[in-house]
Chain A
């Protein structure tokens, strides 16, 4: 064991004297300077304030606006009401209408056509009349179904699971079908045989039976209505009383919402119209609290409803369904957990820094905290690539240069050499990350100042913790260190297989960059089996996820899964690399 540390120590001093280390140092300094030169974060203040100087103006504006905000709450509630309304069963209606359409075609119309006497070439006037009528009825049913699809299903919050592809297919075919039915004029010139032929042609080309089977097998979105009523009760009915036949929120509020509303009114009444800055700010604060509360409640209703609708389907399954595009269960849960916290603790977003806001402010104004994360993103990528380069060169590179044999003829087993060099790389990473972090933070404080505001962090989308921002930064650095260890293990393994340092560095860095691209653009859940896509553990500690390089959470991944994947893959790379190294001859 001591020998491994000794080797690591010797390697460490050696690495820091390499010319490429000086290149790296320069690159890092330049990158840091460029980042604060070009750092223009987007303000993300979510505080709802009015920019007037007189309280009177503010109050008037508030009076005009508050109904609109409250209607947001109403709309979210309405979508649940629609679902609960038993008469509002789009799924059932769709299936029924389609079944009727099918019956009309296969039974009624068919029988009517068959009715035509066999001994004549042309149908009789009466028969023709009946046939025309049935075709017309059929055409109407087709149109009905299409209208239903357009008005009640397309991109709506329906209670039916239908894939976008299926929807388009059925809709398109029905459209074509409607256009290709024979008109009354056409029918008049047909013989019996021609009518039958035409019927058969339609039957074959459109496969209405097949479509119907598909439609009847569509899944209904089943939600426990108890859960829905609970939802409404907690976030809506506790605040609002609506007269039975009106669609409006009247001043007969109750609960928390009323308290907040009254607070605004009473304060204004007390203070009157003034331009006293302190009063203006306080009034704005109170108004903001009112609006915040509405936002919290409506967000919770909407997102919880969405989660209930999704059920246990995975992200990639859900994405193909009508009405669900671009959804991420992880992010929904994240939002719900965050807003639950606000709801239960009588607080709101801008009172906390948001975790890991790259490229935008986490709070209401730029902070050293924001800048540090922004700069560290860039610096840690550069450091990782250089560490990959050092790792690739450590064994295979030295073998090519002939210096490895000088080490191998010393009292160290191959395993100890491997471990010592690995450890040295990790230490280099630690030192570089630490220095970069301190430098970024110092620059951040110097240029932007630093307020010690707490950060709201949602862990794994399930629990909220309020952290000291410095502690969060520590979590971030540790998470990057884990990633670097992953890439060191991978780099050494790759260098065992590809002997030239430049090529193995390129390959390993390529894997790193491609993984980043995949994580950002591919939404299928199988990608979580790719080990390198489980890096970036800090993303399980966020409450919002944006950034310069993509940090989307891979679908269907939990923190435990990612940690396991990383442990397994690092171990595998290490074992394989060692095996290759201990059995090879060291000669040029």
Chain B
């Protein structure tokens, strides 16, 4: 079993409502897996099932080969988790909080606490009461407690909520380090697509409880550009697309307000003139760098209508 995490048909029902519908995927060591979805899509519920915060209706998940359903303690001991905003005991210092968690995990090595504190960069504030911490500091302390038991898998649910741009960037650098230097697998869920794009190796898109797409991020971007590495942004992309297809015999793909296709510079220039002649307003043209947002929206919409981007 090389996978650090493997989900097999994980399902959660709240009465009649199916919140998570038979989700399956896996994560390798050192891999950063981004779990993407709108609010209420089922990201948090899936993560709560993995971390034991809510019961599993059917299916199972395996962490380092241990079943979460039947061998929870063995499974979870390889995990460090932050679910939503990490909360601590405000009347204790950061250090005392970590000491409490260390006691629970039976960590006898005194240096371990100092080590994780320095990894997250909180050494100079660690002996202050948590009530005085900013949100960013709490997030970092959250990562510290997650790292205490030297986990093989980090599970983070919306961990950058409330952070400013700087905070988010620092967090990203930290996570990349942990994954690529220490070989820790990371499962991170978010609805901030820009961030995911910069951080993750693999993306899984979940919508209405269903996992509709899992793929390597480069491949996803590539697939978006199969239809073309050039784009023209205009006010009537479907009409423009038909013109390009019929007059220039080039296959196109419409994505949002962009028409994607392959062509050289000269052809692009002629196409633009043609479209303008036809009274189409052209706003821009250039190389495709499909944002994850575009992909996401497309995938989700096509997921609804039954076709996939591949």
Q: Do A and B bind each other?
A: yes
| Cβ contact of B53, chosen from A405, A411, A583, cutoff 8 A | A405
Known pairs A412-B73, A413-B73; A406 contacts B103 (CB<8 A) = no
Tell me the A385-435 residues at the B interface (CB within 8 Å): 401-403, 405-413
Q: Does A18 contact B (CB under 8 A)?
A: yes
Q: Does B83 contact A (CB under 8 A)?
A: yes
In the complex, what distance in Å separates the CA atom of A305 from the CA atom of B91? Answer: 65
B193 to chain A, nearest CB (A): 24
B285 to chain A, nearest CB (A): 47
| Cβ contact of B77, chosen from A9, A402, A411, cutoff 8 A | A411
A150 to chain B, nearest CB (A): 73
List of B residues within 8 angstroms of A17 by Cβ: 91-92, 96
Q: Does A587 contact B (CB under 8 A)?
A: yes
List of B residues within 8 angstroms of A585 by Cβ: 48, 53-55
Instruction: Please tell me if the beta carbons of A587 and B73 are within 8 angstroms of each other in the complex.
Output: no
Q: Does B133 contact A (CB under 8 A)?
A: no
Closest to A11 in B: B100
Interface size of A in residues (CB-CB distance below 8 Å)? 25
In the complex, what distance in Å separates the CA atom of A586 from the CA atom of B86? Answer: 13
Known pairs A6-B103, A6-B104, A412-B73; A406 contacts B87 (CB<8 A) = yes
Instruction: Please tell me if the beta carbons of A411 and B91 are within 8 angstroms of each other in the complex.
Output: no
Q: Does B296 contact A (CB under 8 A)?
A: no
Instruction: Please tell me if the beta carbons of B53 and A401 are within 8 angstroms of each other in the complex.
Output: no
Closest to B88 in A: A403
List of A residues within 8 angstroms of B72 by Cβ: 411, 413
Instruction: Please tell me if the beta carbons of B52 and A408 are within 8 angstroms of each other in the complex.
Output: yes
In the complex, what distance in Å separates the CA atom of A6 from the CA atom of B73? Answer: 15
Instruction: Please tell me if the beta carbons of B92 and A14 are within 8 angstroms of each other in the complex.
Output: yes
Known pairs A585-B48, A586-B54; A411 contacts B89 (CB<8 A) = no
Q: Does A472 contact B (CB under 8 A)?
A: no
Instruction: Please tell me if the beta carbons of B145 and A406 are within 8 angstroms of each other in the complex.
Output: yes
In the complex, what distance in Å separates the CA atom of A405 from the CA atom of B51? Answer: 9
Scoring A7, A14, A401, A411 by chain B CB atoms within 10 A of each residue's CB, the highest score goes to A411
B231 to chain A, nearest CB (A): 42
| Cβ contact of B100, chosen from A13, A18, A408, A412, cutoff 8 A | A13
In the complex, what distance in Å separates the CA atom of A299 from the CA atom of B232? Answer: 112
Q: Does A579 contact B (CB under 8 A)?
A: no
Q: Does B105 contact A (CB under 8 A)?
A: yes
Known pairs A13-B100, A408-B53, A583-B55; A402 contacts B85 (CB<8 A) = yes
Q: Does B287 contact A (CB under 8 A)?
A: no
Interface size of B in residues (CB-CB distance below 8 Å)? 31
| Cβ contact of B87, chosen from A9, A13, A18, A401, cutoff 8 A | A401
Q: Does A19 contact B (CB under 8 A)?
A: yes
Instruction: Please tell me if the beta carbons of B53 and A407 are within 8 angstroms of each other in the complex.
Output: no
Closest to B53 in A: A586
Q: Does A10 contact B (CB under 8 A)?
A: yes
Known pairs A17-B96, A406-B86, A585-B55; A6 contacts B106 (CB<8 A) = yes
Instruction: Please tell me if the beta carbons of A406 and B101 are within 8 angstroms of each other in the complex.
Output: yes
Instruction: Please tell me if the beta carbons of A409 and B79 are within 8 angstroms of each other in the complex.
Output: yes
Known pairs A6-B106, A402-B85, A585-B55; A409 contacts B76 (CB<8 A) = yes
In the complex, what distance in Å separates the CA atom of A14 from the CA atom of B104? Answer: 12
B137 to chain A, nearest CB (A): 16
Q: Does B74 contact A (CB under 8 A)?
A: yes
Closest to A18 in B: B91
A501 to chain B, nearest CB (A): 15
Tell me the B29-53 residues at the A interface (CB within 8 Å): 44, 48, 51-53
In the complex, what distance in Å separates the CA atom of A7 from the CA atom of B105? Answer: 9
B130 to chain A, nearest CB (A): 10
List of A residues within 8 angstroms of B83 by Cβ: 405, 409
| Cβ contact of A14, chosen from B44, B85, B100, cutoff 8 A | B100
List of A residues within 8 angstroms of B92 by Cβ: 14, 17
List of B residues within 8 angstroms of A402 by Cβ: 84-87
In the complex, what distance in Å separates the CA atom of A413 from the CA atom of B72? Answer: 7
In the complex, what distance in Å separates the CA atom of A408 from the CA atom of B104? Answer: 11
List of A residues within 8 angstroms of B185 by Cβ: none
List of B residues within 8 angstroms of A410 by Cβ: 76, 101, 104-105
Q: Does B143 contact A (CB under 8 A)?
A: no
List of A residues within 8 angstroms of B106 by Cβ: 6
A402 to chain B, nearest CB (A): 3
Q: Does B64 contact A (CB under 8 A)?
A: no
List of A residues within 8 angstroms of B53 by Cβ: 405, 408-409, 585-587
In the complex, what distance in Å separates the CA atom of A407 from the CA atom of B104? Answer: 8
List of B residues within 8 angstroms of A412 by Cβ: 73, 104
In the complex, what distance in Å separates the CA atom of A408 from the CA atom of B84? Answer: 14
Instruction: Please tell me if the beta carbons of A409 and B87 are within 8 angstroms of each other in the complex.
Output: no
List of B residues within 8 angstroms of A14 by Cβ: 89, 92, 100
Known pairs A17-B92, A413-B72; A10 contacts B52 (CB<8 A) = no
Q: Does B23 contact A (CB under 8 A)?
A: no
Closest to A403 in B: B87
Q: Does B61 contact A (CB under 8 A)?
A: no
Closest to B146 in A: A409
- Cβ contacts A to B, 26 pairs, < 8 Å: A10-B103, A14-B89, A14-B92, A17-B91, A17-B92, A18-B91, A402-B84, A403-B89, A405-B83, A406-B87, A406-B88, A406-B101, A407-B104, A408-B52, A409-B76, A409-B79, A410-B76, A410-B104, A411-B72, A411-B73, A411-B77, A412-B104, A583-B55, A585-B53, A585-B54, A585-B55
Known: A17-B91, A409-B52, A412-B73. 18 other contacts (CB 8 A): A7-B104, A10-B100, A10-B104, A401-B87, A402-B86, A405-B53, A408-B52, A409-B76, A410-B101, A410-B104, A411-B73, A411-B105, A412-B104, A585-B53, A585-B54, A586-B54, A587-B44, A587-B48
